[in-house]
Amino acid sequence: MANNKQERLFMNWQWFHRLGSPRWFYEKTDAWVPWLVILAWGLLLVGTVWGLGFAPMDAKQKDSYRIIYVHVPVAFISMACYYIMAIAGAVGLIWKMKLPYMVMKSAAPIGFAFTIIVLATGSIWGRPTWGTWWEWDGRMTSYLVLSFLYLGIIALQNAFQSRDTADKASAILALVGTVNIPIIYKSVDWWYTLHQPASLNLTSAPKIHISMLYPLFTMIAASYIFFTLVLILYTRAEILRRESKTQWVKDLASGVPSKGDKA
Amino acid sequence: MKFQFDSVDAFLKMGGHGAFVWASYVIVYAILIYLTLAPVLSKKTFLKQQKKLLHLQKKSPENSQ
Amino acid sequence: MAKSPSLFGATFRRDLLLAFRHKGEMINPLVFFLIAISLIPLGIGPEKALLMRIAPGILWVMALLATLLSLDNLFRSDFDDGTLEQLLISPHPLYLSVLAKVLAYWLATGLPLTLLSPVLGGMLSLPSGAFIALCSSLLIGSAAMSLIGAVGAALTVGLRKGGLLISLIVMPLYVPILIFGASAVTEAARGNPFDVQLAVLGAILAIALLLAPLATAGALRVSVNG
């Protein structure tokens, strides 16, 4: 009995320290990737078809509301991505591990791409709804600022000669951004109500029917799984780049068979 | 749960908002596909480069004899 | 063995002295502020009603930009001549040294901007009721901007051309300050109370006073050791 408990504690500790090993991560995720691809893209397609073709039409916005099925889920993950990025940076700073920094670096362009999706779909959605291509509403403006935060991280990452300095500096910036995001969001929200008190918020659908929610939940789940997939893919590529001098990467490159390589 | 549109044509037109809805979905899917494929491609290219590099490194000690 | 408060005092006095010796660097943001404000009527037209309406926002945006311009100077000269390294290896808390430098910097840049603002407000036909709001919001806001901007300056001090990067990094962080600062002046111009806005600005300043020097200290260590 005591042995089991000790074993379990030992395993937990091991697991945490293994997180410091990029090679472990790379080899572990080999098996995960194909499943994640199937799950993510499967759910995306199911949710898309459901939302586009089978969810009932909205009374006010007619069929243009269907943009919600891509706009809202990606909005959620673009925010989640920033927090993952910041947490990875914090872990890297505190425990001085390599892998978290690689995850942090991978998350930045992904999150930025997500904010582009949110801004583009939000803008396109605004056109038939409000008649203008850009509307400075609270949500959209917050996401615009979020995209700037991502750009700052990406720019800082690429500005330094030393990989180590770039990582630490970006981690600090990401953490500073994290503290600011709620403040920014609240301020922009307040600013918007100040200037347009009676207007409806674009991204809160007025009366949403339960049958409209199912495809939305599907898409939200799909987007989180997709984010996990893509973050892993980018991190794997980053691992190889950074660890190119190690034997295991050299073996991988020259085709020496080890544990198999799917994506 | 039934299909909401009478015909494929109606599905594409989306009650006049077709251009907006489809443009959104196309943009989103294009970016999602890019996010999925780009890292895989980049990794494969990197491995190919490294293979060439290693190959050259192996050769040069023999040549400089 | 010098106690912490006196290192604070020494750093503060030294930085203030250096700032006043480089009056050119002090004048630059003020001149920018002046010229940029003057461009507005040239771009938009001299119609007083329009100018009056946009004056609060424009004044705040330009003050923000002027602050951004001079941020690079905060740590650069100390980085270049090795003084920064000395501060880092000194046994005194870096938090206090950073605070001293930012305070001196604010007195040399943010405060003059605040004092100049009524003149520029007059140029943009700002209603008379808004001047107090303008000065008080800028006073608190520029202090907060100096503190937060110091983080950006510390992150990029190791780079040769850090200027534009600082702006990119710091501007999103300034958004809340801008929103509440401009709103204070706008409301005052309409004759409404603006204490809520000032209170929020004060809260932001308090948070910045607590946290920004920590982040700045960390960033300085990264930049100097990198």
pLDDT range class, residue C22, cuts 50, 70, 90: confident
Is A94 an interface residue toward C (CB < 8 Å)? no
Q: Alpha-carbon distance A13 to C121, whole Å?
A: 62
For residue A251, being part of any structural domain is answered with no
Smallest Cβ distance to A165: which of C158, C172, C215? Answer: C158
Q: Alpha-carbon distance A91 to B13, whole Å?
A: 49
Indicate if the pLDDT at residue A7 is higher than 80.
no
- Best of B8, B34, B35 to substitute, by most chain A Cβ atoms within 10 angstroms, is B35
For residue A11, being part of any structural domain is answered with no
The residue of chain A nearest to residue C171, with distances taken between CA atoms, is A148
For residue A9, being part of any structural domain is answered with no
CA A117 vs. chain centroid, Å, equals 12
Q: Answer with the residue of higher pLDDT: A2 or B33.
A: B33
Indicate if the pLDDT at residue A206 is higher than 90.
no
Residue for token pair 């995850």: A103
What's the pLDDT at A5? 67
3-state secondary structure of A43: helix
Q: Return the closest-CA partner of residue A201 out of A242, A250, A142, A253.
A: A142
What domain count does chain A have?
A: 1
| Residue C46 Ramachandran class (φ > 0 left, ψ -120 to 50 alpha, else beta) | alpha
Q: Alpha-carbon distance B5 to B12, whole Å?
A: 9
Indicate if the pLDDT at residue A192 is higher than 90.
no
Residues of B with CB under 8 A from a CB of A: 1-5, 11, 14-18, 20-21, 23-25, 27-28, 31-32, 34-36, 39-40, 42-43, 46-48, 50-51, 54-55
Smallest Cβ distance to A241: which of B4, B40, B46? Answer: B46
Task: Output the CA torsion sign for C175, C178, C180, C186.
Answer: negative
- Give this prediction's pTM: 0.89
Q: Answer with the residue of higher pLDDT: A19 or A177.
A: A177
Distances (CA, A) of A15 to A19, A25, A28, C76: 7, 11, 12, 43
Q: Alpha-carbon distance C152 to C169, whole Å?
A: 6
pLDDT range class, residue A199, cuts 50, 70, 90: very low
Tens-digit pLDDT profile for residues A59-117? 777 778 889 999 999 999 999 999 999 999 999 999 999 999 999 999 999 999 999 99
Q: Alpha-carbon distance A257 to A253, whole Å?
A: 10
What's the pLDDT at B65? 47
For residue A224, being part of any structural domain is answered with yes
3-state secondary structure of A134: coil
Beta partners for A62? A58
A145-A151-A157-A158 Cα dihedral, nearest 10 degrees: -150
Indicate if the pLDDT at residue A257 is higher than 80.
no
All residues at 6 or more sequence positions from C167 whose CB lies less than 8 Å from its CB, including other chains: C68
- Enumerate residues 73 to 132 of chain A having a beta carbon within 8 A of any beta carbon in chain B: 74, 106, 110, 113, 116-117, 120-121, 124-125, 127-128
3-state SS string over A15-73?
A: HHHHCCCHHHHHHHHHHHHHHHHHHHHHHHHHHHHHHHHHCCCECCCEHHHHHHHHHHH
Tens-digit pLDDT profile for residues A118-152? 999 999 988 887 777 787 878 889 999 999 999 99
Is C172 an interface residue toward A (CB < 8 Å)? yes
Q: Is C191 exposed, middle or buried (0-12, 13-18, 19+ CB in 10 A)?
A: exposed
All residues at 6 or more sequence positions from C164 whose CB lies less than 8 Å from its CB, including other chains: none
Q: Return the closest-CA partner of residue B24 out of A203, C166, A116.
A: A116
Indicate if the pLDDT at residue A188 is higher than 80.
yes
For residue A246, being part of any structural domain is answered with no
User: In this predicted complex, what is the ipTM?
Assistant: 0.89
Q: Alpha-carbon distance C65 to C205, whole Å?
A: 18
Contact A148, A111 (CB under 8 A): no
Is A213 an interface residue toward C (CB < 8 Å)? no
**What range does the domain containing A132 cover?**
33-241
What's the pLDDT at C193? 94
Cβ–Cβ gap A125/B50 under 8 Å: no
CA A96 vs. chain centroid, Å, equals 23
Is A175 an interface residue toward C (CB < 8 Å)? yes
For residue A210, being part of any structural domain is answered with yes
Please state the rounded mean pLDDT for residues A22-29.
93
For residue A3, being part of any structural domain is answered with no
Return the DSSP state at A199: P
For residue A111, being part of any structural domain is answered with yes
